[in-house]
Amino acid sequence: MKLFLDTANVDYIREINDLGVICGVTTNPSLIAKEGRDFKEVVTEITGIVDGPISAEVISMDADGMVEEAKELIKIHKNIVIKIPMCAQGLKACAALTKMNIKTNVTLIFSAAQALLAARAGATYVSPFVGRLDDVGAHGVELIEEIANIFAVHGIECEIIAASIRKPGDVTACALAGANIATVPYDVMKKCIDHPLTTQGIARFLKDWETVPKK
């Protein structure tokens, strides 16, 4: 399973990209709003940091509007992926963009049927939201597993981006469930790096090293 960073914060993106663990970035209107900066300016900056798929979301609610926004966004960089909300107009826009060879990420996926439809409309990626399903008492990881099984059985090439990740356990559970990618928020990524036993272990090694006779 590959890892993307789920943020529009360029400082976070630089820091995690330098670790060599991510190969893409996802943004959404809420993440962009948090930065208090111009949308295109932020996305352009991100494309200069990470050499991989960068999802930028459209906000029109009609297919024609989504396609027009997409045409503008792809001018920013060849790595831009157009993020489209799952709905009838979104599917229509996805199909049109696929015909134009423009990559898409159909987002706000909460059922396997939605993922199947998005894939059939030509989506490059689907983004099932694990954490938001867990929040309402459902099981987000089970959805990842269902979609992965359906795509495997039917030879569907669309990649599954496990989104709405809330904790390190979600990352590993999604990997086991068959997600192709997990898009991980900065704080969860940091938690994935650290472990109290690793911290203790490093401290003990350094302490013991002090007792090694030095010539």
> Which residue, 154 or 173, has its beta carbon nearer to ligand E4P?
173
Q: Which of 40, 71, 78, 83 is catalytic?
A: 83
Rounded CA Rg of the chain: 19
Shortest Å, Cβ 127 to ligand E4P? 5
**Would you call 215 a catalytic residue per the annotation?**
no
Structure tokens at 128: 């099932």
Interacting residues with ligand E4P (CB under 6 A): 6, 26, 28, 107, 127, 129, 131-132, 163-164, 183
> Which residue, 26 or 114, has its beta carbon nearer to ligand E4P?
26
Shortest Å, Cβ 6 to ligand E4P? 5
Structure tokens at 109: 């996926």
**6 beta partners:** 26
* Chain centre distance of CA 97: 20
> Which residue, 129 or 151, has its beta carbon nearer to ligand E4P?
129
CA angle in degrees (0–180, nearest 5) for 89-144-151 = 70
**21 beta partners:** none
Extended strands (E) in the chain: 2-6, 25-26, 54-57, 80-85, 104-109, 125-128, 159-162, 181-184
> Which residue, 146 or 170, has its beta carbon nearer to ligand E4P?
170
In whole angstroms, give the CA distance from residue 140 to residue 211. Answer: 50
Shortest Å, Cβ 107 to ligand E4P? 5
Shortest Å, Cβ 189 to ligand E4P? 13
Catalytic residues: 83
